[in-house]
Amino acid sequence: MSTTTVAAPSINYYQIAQQMEPGEVRVFRDAQWSDYERLHDQLPPDSHLVQVSFSEGVLQLMSTSTLHETYAQFINGMLRLLSLRLRIDIRFFGTATIKKSRKQKGLEPDACFYVQTVPQLGKRLKLDFEVDPPPDVALEVDIYHGSISKMPIYAALEIPEVWRYDNKTLTIHLLSDGQYQQTDSSAALPMLTAEDLTRFLDLMKEESEFKAMLDFEDWLNSLKN
């Protein structure tokens, strides 16, 4: 479901966001950056129910669902397990709002991680993306297929690596010269391939999350041998 509307000063984006059904997408053209920032001020902290993106006057609202969250949390869980088993310091910032006012672009990935740039963060728990480095990896669970592509926004925000899952296949995209190129394996975590990540997601759907996580743990242990 998707609806496109020409924005007007009287539009109450917060009210619309509260009334959206799971999986619904609403796109507003001729919106202002101030509309985007005002909506974020109105939404509850750490709200995961509606994801908001903005680029070139287009404001998109996408309501998530339980299935959407399940995939994101499963991938997040795999990386937490990998961090512990392989002793790799990974910082997790969930669906943090990543925006840059000077570029007038912003979005919320379904999860984001720091790997290579962890030392630059120090002990900070709250980031300011106007000055802090972007996450090394962002996750986009795209099972509802929003009306506008978020990939150009990720590129403008200079996020080096995006994982995209469309309910069938997880693909890995690396930023090069302002464009994303699909690749077989992660640059941040080279032991992970798109094929491996897809395989464990399939197992989670076919068997159970518990079984898939146990198999992933066994696979991690095999890497240490």
Residue pair 33/39 in contact (Cβ under 8 Å)? The answer is: no
Burial group, residue 186, by CB count within 10 angstroms (0-12, 13-18, 19+): buried
- Using DSSP bridges, classify how beta strands 161-165 and 137-141 pair: parallel, antiparallel or unpaired: parallel
For Cα atoms 150, 174, 84, give the angle at the middle one, nearest 5 degrees.
100
Please give the Cα distance from 115 to 225 (Å, whole number): 23
**Would strands 58-63 and 25-29 be described as parallel, antiparallel, or unpaired?**
antiparallel
Residue 66: the pLDDT is: 83
- How many CB atoms sit inside 10 A of residue 224's CB? 8
The pTM assigned to this predicted structure is 0.91
Q: Where are the domains of the chain?
A: 65-224
Angle at 32 between CA 99 and CA 56, to 5 degrees: 65
> CB of 75 within 8 A of CB of 165?
yes
Of residues 182, 169, 161, 160, the one with CA closest to residue 142: 169
- E strand or H helix at 54, and its extent? strand 50-55
Q: Are 220 and 85 in contact (CB under 8 A)?
A: yes
Which pLDDT belongs to residue 67?
84
Q: For every one of its 225 residues, what pLDDT tens digit does the chain have, with 9 covering 90 and above? A: 566 666 666 788 889 888 888 888 899 998 999 999 999 888 876 566 788 999 999 999 988 888 888 999 999 999 999 999 999 999 999 888 899 999 999 999 999 999 999 999 888 888 888 888 999 999 999 887 665 689 999 999 999 999 999 999 999 999 999 999 999 999 999 999 999 999 999 999 999 999 999 999 999 999 876
Amino acid identity of residue 100, one-letter, is: K
Torsion of CA 128, 132, 137, 141, to 10 degrees: 20
How confident is the prediction for the chain on average, in pLDDT?
A: 89
CATH 3.20.10.10 fits 65-224, yes or no: no
